[in-house]
Structure 1
Amino acid sequence: MDTVNPGTSPAPAYLSAELSARTSASTVTIDGGTVAFWTYEPLLETPETRTILVVHGFRGDHHGLLRVADQLPDMRIIMPDLPGFGSSEAFARGPHSVERYGQFIADFMAARELGPDTVLLGHSFGSIVASHFVANNPDAVRPLILINPIAAPALEGPKGAMTRLAVLYYRLAAGLPRRPGLALLRNPLIVRVMSETMAKTRDRELRVFIHGQHHAYFSSFADRDSLLESFTASVSSHVAEVAGQLELPVLLIAGEKDEIATLPNQHRLLALLPDGDLKVIPGVGHLIHYETPEPAARYIRSFLKDHPA
């Protein structure tokens, strides 16, 4: 494993200096590809300190969950960039499917010697990957935490038409010549519209921060083919299809105004879980990790106290 310096640039205004002090950045080779990951050590390790492995959402990378990590200074948090996103290389072989990402989680845990007391946390698309991984590896982690979980099929219901348009968008971008295809995917206007739509906060400075994060990191993907495969995976699976197989304690943290993972679907998902708990944060949508990390972290800490190692 090659270790690199985390960098010396000042922390953004919405992140504490303590987070930088906790941070180490590393790479590991898995199945022939380089995976970048970041570890955030606890400021003070206690008997309640847990290791939390975080799986980020589609077109995101580890930066998206930094505000949540910042609010958990007593936990050890490990956040890889999924293959094909951020600073990690795409899979050299095989499709970027939910099953393939699940195998990546298994391989990454083995490479880092993460045992069954590891807590697994997934956000958005990461909730699909994490839940399917647990369904196929029931003793690998405990417990499971899902933020803004994708609780129902994306191609069905009132949002189905918009999802199908998004499928066409990604297929068009993949089919165009390289330069115009990448320009379409990284179009700043499209990124901004997406960001404006998802952000629910009325805090002007926070909205500026969110838009800046999306413009900085939303287009950090390896190539168009892996992006299309990952997007197809994100809209072809959901958590509810494996909910009955999740025998471990599961915490769902949902946004009241989430238009992607709607609240009614969260309640339906909860009813399918053998041992589930749902916490709803008012006034926020699909960006809990940016807008309301404090209550999310409180729910996580309380849940882990109720389900110790």
Structure 2
Amino acid sequence: MSVPSPYSAALERIPVTQKSVDAGGTRTAYWEYGPADSEMTILAVHGFRGDHHGLEPVVAQMPDVRWIMPDLPGFGQTPPIAGRTHDLRAYTEWLTAFASTVAPGAIVLGHSFGSIVASAAVAGGLETPRLILVNPIGAPALEGPRGVLTRLAVFYYWASARLPAALGTELLRSPIIVRIMSIAMAKTRDKGLRRFIHDQHDRYFSTFSDRETLRQAFTTSVSHDVRESAGAIDVPTLLVAAVEDDITPIAKERELVRMFRDAVLTEIDGVGHLIHYEKPREAASAIRDVIGIRGERAP
């Protein structure tokens, strides 16, 4: 039985439609939230191992905005890209193709691993009026305060890919491992919110398509960061960073914002790498401030 979401009342007020489209070499599943005639559309890219559900708490705070939220190739309901290694180029080409087909001219938002994909795509030519990065990966994962844990994760994915198929997949989907990941990231002391976060990870962190695609995506996630793309991005950019993020320390985010031609940094205290779950109202407020929407807000 799933844990009730603290954001469900607000989210239930927002219309949602599930769709799919051929883009970038795969049949991409995506969800459209909010009014179809909204003056603003945001194309949101989720993080590693999750799917579109993770960003729903932010959507719940902005009912007047149209959101387009795909599942990344190899995650959720989107199959892998046939015949491709799931490296950064494959993901950026997929996102560019998807955006041009479904949401041309939309604001692009990326969370965590999605920040790497989104920034690389915009740097590579994806047209957007504005870029928003939530919990951006602003430094190499192996250099962060939890670099040792990242190295353990590298070994975990490496070993899982080399075990017999059934055993390796079982290890990757282990509820114990997923819970350890969830506990490591959550900062909130609210017991109800922590239960919700753990339930979300239990439900959606193991919906990847297969272990090899997952290994390739993980390798991509720890081999790149937003710094590689920042200097080539010429659209206004918002960075929404967490003061207690263990993956990219706030000091590195303060360095990252200066690498863009036109960027602002909003720092949110009392949260780590799960801004979208723990502080979605604050994230939505920062987004509203930069995109100029002062309309309806969630109760």
Q: Same fold, TM exceeding 0.5? A: yes
Deviation by residue 1:83-133 (Cα, 9 ceiling, x = unmatched)? 100011011121111111111111112222x223x1000000000000000
> How has the CA–CA distance of structure 1 residues 16 and 154 changed in structure 2, closer, same or farther, with 3 Å as cutoff?
same
> How has the CA–CA distance of structure 1 residues 11 and 88 changed in structure 2, closer, same or farther, with 3 Å as cutoff?
farther
Query: Corresponding residue for 1:271?
Result: 258
1:270-309 matches, within 5 Å, as 270-305=257-292
Structure 1's unaligned 5+ residue stretches are: 1-8
Deviation by residue 1:227-264 (Cα, 9 ceiling, x = unmatched)? 00000000000001221111111100011110012101
Separation in structure 2 between the aligned mates of residue 273 and residue 71 of structure 1, nearest angstrom = 28
> How has the CA–CA distance of structure 1 residues 199 and 261 changed in structure 2, closer, same or farther, with 3 Å as cutoff?
same
Give the C-alpha shift of residue 17 in structure 1: 5.6
> How has the CA–CA distance of structure 1 residues 177 and 159 changed in structure 2, closer, same or farther, with 3 Å as cutoff?
same
Give the C-alpha shift of residue 168 in structure 1: 1.1
Asked whether the 8 Å contact 1:105–1:133 carries over to 2, the reply is yes
- Equivalent pairs counted in the alignment come to 292
1:68-217 matches, within 5 Å, as 68-112=58-102, 114-116=103-105, 118-137=106-125, 140-217=127-204
Q: Which amino acid letter does the alignment assign opposite residue 42 of structure 1?
A: P
Larger mean CA deviation between 10-19 and 203-212 belongs to 10-19
Deviation by residue 1:142-190 (Cα, 9 ceiling, x = unmatched)? 1000000000111235433322221111011011111111111111111
The share of aligned pairs that are identical, in percent, is 48
Task: Tell me the TM-score normalised to structure 2 length.
Answer: 0.93
Separation in structure 1 between the aligned mates of residue 99 and residue 211 of structure 2, nearest angstrom = 27
Query: Corresponding residue for 1:39?
Result: 32
> Partner of 2:292: helix, strand, or coil?
helix
Asked whether the 8 Å contact 1:11–1:17 carries over to 2, the reply is no
Separation in structure 1 between the aligned mates of residue 193 and residue 71 of structure 2, nearest angstrom = 24
Structure 2's unaligned 5+ residue stretches are: 294-299
Query: Corresponding residue for 1:4?
Result: none
Q: Which amino acid letter does the alignment assign opposite residue 31 of structure 2?
A: W
Asked whether the 8 Å contact 2:244–2:271 carries over to 1, the reply is yes
Give the C-alpha shift of residue 13 in structure 1: 4.4
Query: Corresponding residue for 1:28?
Result: 21
Asked whether the 8 Å contact 1:253–1:279 carries over to 2, the reply is yes
> How has the CA–CA distance of structure 1 residues 41 and 160 changed in structure 2, closer, same or farther, with 3 Å as cutoff?
same
Asked whether the 8 Å contact 1:148–1:288 carries over to 2, the reply is yes
Give the C-alpha shift of residue 293 in structure 1: 0.4
* Higher RCO, Cα 8 Å, sep 6+: 2
> Partner of 2:207: helix, strand, or coil?
coil
Q: Which amino acid letter does the alignment assign opposite residue 137 of structure 1?
A: G
Task: Tell me the TM-score normalised to structure 1 length.
Answer: 0.90
> Partner of 1:245: helix, strand, or coil?
coil
